[in-house]
Every structure is written in structure tokens, then in C-alpha cells.
Amino acid sequence: MITNRHAVRWRIATAAVGALTAAAVAQDIKPPEAAQQHAKPPLPAAKAAGALPNGPVIVKVKPDPLVIQQQQPWGGQLAQAPLTPAPEVVRLWAPETVASVRLSNHDLSAVAELDAKEFARREAASARLGLSSVPAEVIFAILARGELSVEQCERLLAIAQDKVLALPRGALGLRMQPSGDPRNPGVEVLLLLPGMPAERVLKIGDRIERIDDRPLATSSDLVEIVQSKMPGDHVRLSIARQQRDERGKPKLDPAGGFIDDRMEFDVALTTAVDLDRFEDQLASPVRSVVLERRLLALREAEARFSPRTVKIKSPPPAPIVPKKRPSDAGAARDPLTPDD
């Protein structure tokens, strides 16, 4: 029978390469115009270069810290940290999840057809289980039960991969940057996308300090938490909002610092598909990181549920026994007859 084992691995590898490529392209950005304006102009040639007798020209250029800081996108900070499998995927085959799944006769009959002799029947069964009406939890529950043939197992893993990569992701709908102040950590809201959940509770300039009681150091911290949840899930935002006077200017305390109000909001997430309308206003490195984490979870699932392969040693070759020659004492040999 034809299995999909190599197809599964090839598709996972292809998706991983695509994710890494997208991250590399997304991080290849130019500093914004504001940073370019603050960049130091090039030194005059007479001062920048020192001509050595009969030697090369040495140019000494001191890098501008502001430009270097602006050239490093916030998504790059996360890429340096070790990635872990996506929790929203790993929980799909957790014991409590598997125990709560009820398999229907329709699903079980389709699983049986995955091992049919006719290729067309196997393909039709894969299509039935690949429908969006069949949750990913059902596929992993079947894999967890075991007692599957190699063909059934490999086809189920391929179906599970498609469902995992198509899982919806939660979204708030804002653009942000790290506060840059160790005394007031968090992420500052720069832009609120119209019609998205964040617009209903946040204001530009708010500093989000925690989400679900987890402190935030970078923008990618918030994005990963939000996109690891499903649309409709709720998150708890703890924010600091500057007090302002009648003219809209921030109020200052006697020491010259800003006066903040602390508040919390419970927000229901929408789907990340809605972010496609604002593709040109959002950074993409973290999206590829979310995909990479889901791919790591898929590799874990493959290691857990793939059929075990057994190496069979081939028997040693039988010894070659030489044929016995006729005795010299035997009958006279025909001189024209070749030797055995």
C-alpha cells in the first residue's frame, strides 16, 4: 500500500522553511525616516580617511546607537530565545482532551476505510476526515487509541497537520512597541485598528503591563499569548493610563514623573484572519514564530504517534561449499572435456 509518511515529513519541512524565510525577509527592514533624520552625517573625506604611504585607505566610522536600535525589529528578540511547542496544539492530545472526545460511527467507519485495498477509497476517507466539521481533537483521539495500521496512522498524521496549521488564532487589533523604561515595563499602544476588540477598551499611549497576570517585556510577548488562544477566548489586560489635564497634556507629580491610573479590562478576542485587512500596518516576524511553534508541536505528535519501525537484520549468507572433483583414480577423463 502507498503511505503518506514521506509526504507528512516533506510538508512539515517545507512549511518550516517557508516560516524561516518569511521571518528573515520580514526582519530585513530599513530604519524609519525619524531614525534616518537623527543619523549622523558622514564625516568629510579629509577627516574620515587617513591615507597611509603606499598603503590602503582606512575609514573609521562610529555607528550611531539610535540607528542600530531602530534597525532591530522587536520580533528579533523572540527569535533568539529557544522555541517551545505551541501549547494550543499540544493540549489537543492531552489525556483530559482525549478523554472528553466522543467518536461517532461515521468517524470510525472513515478510519476503517483509510486501510482499504482500493486507493480511491482511502483517498475518499481522508477527505471525509479532513472536513472542517471534524475537529482536530477527534483525529488526535483516534491516534491516541492506537491499534492502527501504518497506512491509517500516516494518513491521520497528514490530516492532523492540515488541521493544526489551519487552527484559528486570536487577535486584539493593535500596534505597539516596548516602553523602553525599565522602571515602567510593558508595551505602549501606538495604533488601534478600527473595529477590533482593543479599540473598544484601550487608548493610544496606554501601557499594557500584564496580560493574564503575566508581565510583558516585549511586544512579541503579548502577540504570542494572544495568538496562542482561540477567537472568543478572553484575556485580562492590566494597563497604566496617563492622567491628563483639560488641555490634554499629561499630569506630572512633584518629582516630574507622569501620573498613571491603573485599570484592568477583560477582552474577548477576535480571529487573526481579521488582521489581513491591515497587513501593511502590522509586523510579521511573530506570525512566523507562532507557525514555527506549531510545527514543533507537530514534530512532537509525529514522534508520539508514528508507527514504530523495527530494523530486521538480514541472515548471514550461507557458506559456499566447493564441489568435489572426481578422483584421479576414477575413470579416464576425456581430454576435450573442460573441468567442472
pLDDT digit string (tens) for 218-229? 888 898 889 888
Residue numbers in the chain where pLDDT is lower than 70 = 1-81, 281-288, 309-312, 323-340
Classify residue 168 by burial, with Cβ atoms within 10 Å: 0-12, 13-18, 19+: middle
Answer yes or no: do 157 and 71 share one domain: yes
pTM for the structure as a whole: 0.58
Kindly state whether residue 337 falls inside one of the protein's structural domains.
no
Structural domains of the chain, count: 2
Answer yes or no: do 211 and 88 share one domain: no
Answer yes or no: do 185 and 198 share one domain: yes
The one-letter amino acid code at 123 reads E
Coil/strand/helix, residue 36 = helix
The whole-number pLDDT of residue 87 equals 86
The whole-number pLDDT of residue 283 equals 61
Using the Cα atoms of residue 95, residue 153, residue 299 and residue 216 in order, give the sign of their dihedral: negative
Answer yes or no: do 221 and 80 share one domain: no
State the residue range of the domain holding 78. 5-37+61-165
The whole-number pLDDT of residue 332 equals 52
Answer yes or no: do 17 and 150 share one domain: yes
Using the Cα atoms of residue 235, residue 272, residue 298 and residue 221 in order, give the sign of their dihedral: negative
Residues in Cβ contact with 20 at an 8 Å cutoff, skipping those fewer than 6 apart: 288, 292
Answer yes or no: do 141 and 182 share one domain: no
